[in-house]
Structure 1
Amino acid sequence: MRLVTFAGSDGNPRPGALLNNTAVDLSSRFRSIHSLVLGGEEAIRTAEDLAQSASSRFSLDEVRLLAPIPDPPRIFCIGLNYRDHAVESRMEVPKVPTVFLKLPTALVGHGEAIRLPSISSQPDYEVEFACVIGRDGHRIARENWLDYVFGYTILNDVSARDVQLATSQWVLGKSFPTFAPLGPAIVTKDEIPDPHALDIRLSIDGELLQHSNTQELIFKLPDLIAYLSSIVPLLPGDIISTGTPAGVGLGRTPQRWLKPGETVTCEVAGLGQLVNPVVAGE
């Protein structure tokens, strides 16, 4: 199942499902996608039945897709989690996961603009495969990781490199408004048999700049879920974004930064395409 949050002509966000090129309104049973996640497997079955029978359907041309879960408790991001990206960043390959947070206020959806802040001259792109946690968990055993996954999505970890690397703390340089495009949907875990065998790529205006496969992750989801939950309890709706492969602007010669007027397309096999235009901000 492919779950979204969308806004219709009234501008109000609604939980929905993508079905046959339409957005099916699920708001008669669910307040939000977050509330659906909290409901677990039973809520997914209810949503599937409702998606098949609901009369409230919208053409995708009639709606605006928002971040599929606009209110996650936390966005955990993993740095340097592809060996080739660590090398291009001139940083040591990590022996334990490099974890930082991205603030939920940075979230935008498919089709929404990435706004480049005037105080940064080095805005960068990072396609990432992300998972959404489905239930509470503390000290989760590595072999039980999948029991705690709700589904998967795509995140573009947009980064102001000059702000990010001015200190050892990365959060602010990663959290400008619009710096976390997410979507287009959350794909429930039953639709992705092996999340560690997915092609991942990013292009700008048709030029392929990043291309790898999630099998190349240094720390895969079993490692990340076990590690994070050994320190902090995971919560339903938490996002874990697993890191980006080589090809980012920082690692290129010459370095290549995002520019107004460009369009960024992130793609992960089975999850669709996350497309965002780039515009000048304030």
Structure 2
Amino acid sequence: MASVSRRSPPQRRIDVRLASFATGSRATYGVGVEDGIIDVAALARSAGRSFPLTLQALVEKGAEELTALARALENFQGETIPLDQATFLPPIARPGKIVCLALNNSANASRILSGPSTPAFFSKPASALIGHGAAIPLRQIYGRVHPEPELAAVIGLGGKDIAQEDAYAHVFGYTVHNDITSPTMRTEDTYHYRAIYPDDGEGGVRYVDTHVSYPGRYKGADGFAPMGPWIATRDAVPDPHALAISCWHDATLITSDNTANLTHHLPDVIAWVSSFMTLEAGDVISLGTALSAAQKTGMAIQNVDLNRLGGTVTVEIEMIGRLTNSVSGLA
């Protein structure tokens, strides 16, 4: 497939972590450093130039602006904001698409009785996003709700029909996504029915017994996409398919896996998704869930019913960061 791009990929290696956050009523973004986070406004003052006002706008500007930001960071003179004084927001506030891969873990291939050989994907709305430290709002009518720890890629360079060999040039960076899921609502929104197909005869029809489930509620409810706190730029993660990924409920390790176990790797996914949907700057592609039970606990994420247990859930991916969210019950 031919690659359709809108700008050239960056030439300089840029290894930084970026986050959207708020201090008081002011929403902004900045660069993570060892002792806190540097507000982009402070970075701009130090460099004597302006930068895009949002992280989404920085992603859209692309290589030249990101390179200028990295240079300003090298010469920064100013104060940093302690992390405990920042309220983290979703890294990209309103991505055009949050594309999520379904059943994309080779460690659990034996569980799949039948399915496509190509990536299967669904979408989450931007309204499902919450940031690091925010509460996941759950209602009792949601039934069983569990976490799903996932690596997500943020698209920087948009395109249609992107070739596999060009895919990484379209990635701005990587973040942490907790794909909150309600199996109860999935069951409620699953139809077992007789689908109508054309008959091989003359204008007739035939009926095929089938099941179909729609993920609008069980994947896309408000708060069902905790994300962040950081976007690690593409150069900060040499191989996205060699990362340890872990999930805790309170202090208990629930699952520990590695992104090497993903069945479909990012270049294949970008090529496949972009053959159906034009990818745009700021879009998020979540690559699928680490499902191996933690060796010491023998537990599985499906057993962690957040609606019943409450508490906090944490997802950590090496080289990117740690995402923690509490559970907040609603009426």
Distance 2:301 2:259 in 1: 25
Query: Residue 12 of structure 1 corresponds to which residue in structure 2?
Result: 26
Aligned residue type for 2:29: P
Measured at CA, do residues 61 and 252 of structure 1 come closer, stay the same or move farther in structure 2, by a change above 3 Å? Answer: closer
**1:171 deviation in Å?**
2.7
Structure 1 pair 95/44, CA: closer, same or farther in 2 (3 Å)? same
TM-score in terms of structure 2 length: 0.79
Match of 2:61, SS state, is: helix
Does 1:82 find its partner at 2:105?
yes
User: 3-state DSSP class of the match of 1:122?
Assistant: coil
Q: Label 1:163 to 1:19 Cα distance change in 2 as closer, same or farther (>3 A).
A: same
2:304 matched residue in structure 1 = 256
Equivalent residue in structure 2 for 1:163, among 172, 185, 189: 185
Q: In structure 2, which of residues 317, 323, 327 is the aligned counterpart of residue 268 of structure 1?
A: 317
State the SS of the aligned residue for 1:219.
Answer: coil
How far apart in 2 are the matches of 1:20 and 1:83?
35
Larger radius of gyration: 2
Matched, 1:116 2:164: no
Mapped to 1, the partners of 2:291 and 2:114 lie a distance apart of 14
1: distance between equivalents of 2:301 and 2:23?
43
Identify the match of residue 122 of structure 2 among 84, 100, 107: 100
3-state SS in 2 of match to 1:224: helix
Q: 2:73 aligns with which of 3, 27, 51?
A: 51
- In structure 2, how many angstroms separate the alpha carbons of the residues matched to 1:153 and 1:274? 9
Distance 1:121 1:247, change over 3 A: farther
Secondary structure (helix, strand or coil) at the match of 1:119 reads helix
Confirm or deny that 1:25 pairs with 2:48: no
Distance across 2 between alignment mates of 1:253 and 1:267: 14
By how many angstroms is 1:84 displaced? 3.6
* Cα distance, 1:49 vs structure 2: 2.9
Aligned: 1:244 with 2:292: no
Structure 1 position 151 matched with structure 2 position 199? no
Give the Cα separation in 2 of the matches to 1:92 and 1:278: 34
Count residues in correspondence.
278
Partner SS, residue 184 of structure 2: helix
Query: In the aligned structure 1, how far is the partner of 2:60 from the partner of 2:78?
Result: 25
Q: Which amino acid aligns with 2:83?
A: L
- Tell me if the contact between 1:87 and 1:93 (Cα under 8 Å) persists in the aligned partners: no
Cα deviation, 1:133-189, whole Å, max 9, x if unaligned, reads 011111111111111000000100001211123221113211111111101100001
Give, in whole Å, the separation in 1 of the partners of 2:301 and 2:227. Answer: 28
Which whole-Å deviations, capped at 9, do the CAs of 1:11-67 have from their partners, x for residues lacking one? 221021111222211145221001000111111112223334263631112111111
Match of 1:131 among 153, 156, 169: 153
Question: Any idea what SS the aligned residue of 1:3 has?
Answer: strand
Contact 1:116 1:260 (C-alpha < 8 Å) held by counterparts: no
Match of 1:204 among 218, 234, 249: 249
Residue deviations 1:171-212 (CA, integer Å, cap 9, x gap): 321111111110110000111111111111111112121211
Of residues 55, 58, 64 in structure 1, which corresponds to 2:87?
Answer: 64
Aligned 8 A contact 1:25 1:54 in 2: no
Q: CA RMSD in A?
A: 2.0
Query: Contact conserved, 1:115 with 1:280, CA < 8 A, in 2?
Result: yes
Whole-angstrom distance in 2 between the partners of 1:139 and 1:23: 37
Distance 1:253 1:199, change over 3 A: closer
8 Å contact from structure 2 (residues 21, 27) kept in 1: yes
Gapped regions of structure 2 (runs ≥ 5): 1-15, 42-49, 191-212, 294-298
Q: For each residue in 1:69-96, what CA deviation from the matched residue of structure 2 results, as whole angstroms up to 9, or x when unmatched?
A: 11111100001000344545x6535411
Contact 2:247 2:316 survives alignment (8 Å): yes
Structure 1 alignment gaps of length 5 or more: none
* CA shift in 2, pair 1:261/1:231, >3 Å: closer
| SS state at 2:227 partner | strand
